[in-house]
Structure 1
């Protein structure tokens, strides 16, 4: 493998995320990414509720976004 050409390109991140979310929406809980992303959203919402600066909706989005990113770019 060439070190100059990494396996994942950052410019493909949004298209990969869009494809992953579409697959998750069509397959529901049968898709392997759905449960980890929902878990990340729940943990983020709880953390957002406990932290004084961040609200739970921001925590929910941040947690889901982080887990989606980790599923796309392990």
Structure 2
């Protein structure tokens, strides 16, 4: 379901898509990501120390942000 939604959803202006895709990898959903970022910053006030962990969601697509991590069980995916 999540993969299907990711394929179908676009939030950018179609007339500006080709230029913005050359500059930003997430240009199609940049408006939504910016709004999510602003809302998150209003709700979350970080402490002095913040633990950070990376997660690799397996993916076999040719998506522009797919990473290769040889030390993970699923070597190709999207890193969060």
Q: Same fold (TM over 0.5)?
A: no
Higher-Rg structure is: 2
The alignment's TM-score, normalised by the length of structure 1, stands at: 0.31
Normalized per residue, the structure richer in strand is 2
Instruction: Normalising by structure 2, report the TM-score.
Output: 0.29
If asked which structure has higher relative contact order (CA below 8 Å, sep 6+), I would say: 1
- Which structure has greater helix proportion? 1
